[in-house]
Amino acid sequence: MLAIGLRLGATFALATMFMLIKLAGTHGVSMPELMFWRQAVSVPLIAGWLAMSRQLGKLATRRPVAHAGRAAVGTLGLFCNIAASTLLPLPVATTLGFTAPLFAVLITAIILREHVGRWRWTSVVAGFAGVLVIAGPGEIADVPTLGIVAGLGAGVIVATVSFQIRDLARTDTPISMVFWFALFGMLGASVFLPFYGRIHDGEAYLILLGVGLAGTVGQFFIAASLRHAPVATVVVIDYVSLIWATLYGLVIFDSWPPHTTWLGAPLIIAAGMIITWREHFLAKRVSPTSSLDSGALEEAADETDPDMRRGT
């Protein structure tokens, strides 16, 4: 219950961050500025907290190049998320973010050359059918094409970063990954400030501070939730962010999502949940001495389990 509560807090914090990003856009704040402030607030918060608790040693790393690479990819993902939040209604941008598990399956099959069974392929097809519904013809859904591209780009990059994080987690602590991502991301975004930086009013700077605080709190809550429960238990809670995004859209921007979102979102969410369940199911079947990969296990399960053969 503690893990679920923390994950709920994370969904609210991150939905708040994206709402503030969209609000900052209405105040004339550019994307490079948003990217800089999102990371710049995190760096002193994390460093200060660790210093006060005498845990600065957790930031030690022997892989600065790997962290820089992860930050480069993650910063591109942040750019896509900001663009999607700015161009699209918040529920649409949030829903497109749920495509990350679909792209993770594609990366597993196409780039890593691992076998992917029928369950996950079916989920990928269903998920992208949901994307097509959301991005339907102009008469049906008033959704900017550039925003759709940005939202899907964020999904691709989140899936890619998950593989990088998995690799870094072998040697580094979660808090160090968050810190180095923020530091490298801040430095990268600062290069563009001389060209895009502007003087804003006090309200805009308060919004930017809120963006950084909400993003940092969200990351902390995500990490904390994983200390108290496995990924498969808490990841389903992430879909609650669609509720927060819809409420923010109504209250702050007086905007109701296109009706196609309510047709496509269930397909994308169901596809992501099936992929998560399937990964959890296969992981439980792997013995310490097994040499089978997840795809081979999936194929074997489909052939031997009568419930699987019936598609239940």
**How many residues are recorded in the chain?**
312
pLDDT over 80 at 259, yes or no:
no
Phi/psi of residue 227, nearest 5 degrees: -80, -20
Using an 8 Å Cβ cutoff, are 33 and 263 in contact? no
Mean predicted lDDT score pLDDT of the chain:
82
Over the stretch 204-257, which tens digit does the pLDDT of each residue have?
A: 999 999 999 999 898 888 877 877 777 666 777 888 899 999 999 999 988 887
- Can you give the pLDDT at residue 111? 79
Q: Please, which pLDDT band fits residue 288 given cuts at 50, 70 and 90?
A: very low
Quote the CA–CA distance of 259 and 220 in Å, as a whole number. 34
pLDDT over 70 at 297, yes or no:
no
Quote the CA–CA distance of 84 and 211 in Å, as a whole number. 16
CA distances in angstroms from 172 to 57, 161, 183, listed in the order given: 11, 15, 16
Quote the CA–CA distance of 257 and 243 in Å, as a whole number. 11
- Can you give the pLDDT at residue 211? 95
Quote the CA–CA distance of 196 and 256 in Å, as a whole number. 31
Tell me the average pLDDT across 250-279: 83
Quote the CA–CA distance of 214 and 90 in Å, as a whole number. 16
Q: Please, which pLDDT band fits residue 69 given cuts at 50, 70 and 90?
A: very high
- Can you give the pLDDT at residue 295? 44
pLDDT over 90 at 160, yes or no:
no
Residue appearing with tokens 């022997």: 62
pLDDT over 80 at 283, yes or no:
no
pLDDT over 70 at 54, yes or no:
yes
Residue appearing with tokens 């596809």: 271
3-state secondary structure of 303: helix
Using an 8 Å Cβ cutoff, are 242 and 94 in contact? yes
- Choose from 17-26, 118-127, 140-149, 170-179 the range with maximum mean pLDDT: 17-26
pLDDT over 90 at 22, yes or no:
yes
pLDDT over 80 at 42, yes or no:
yes
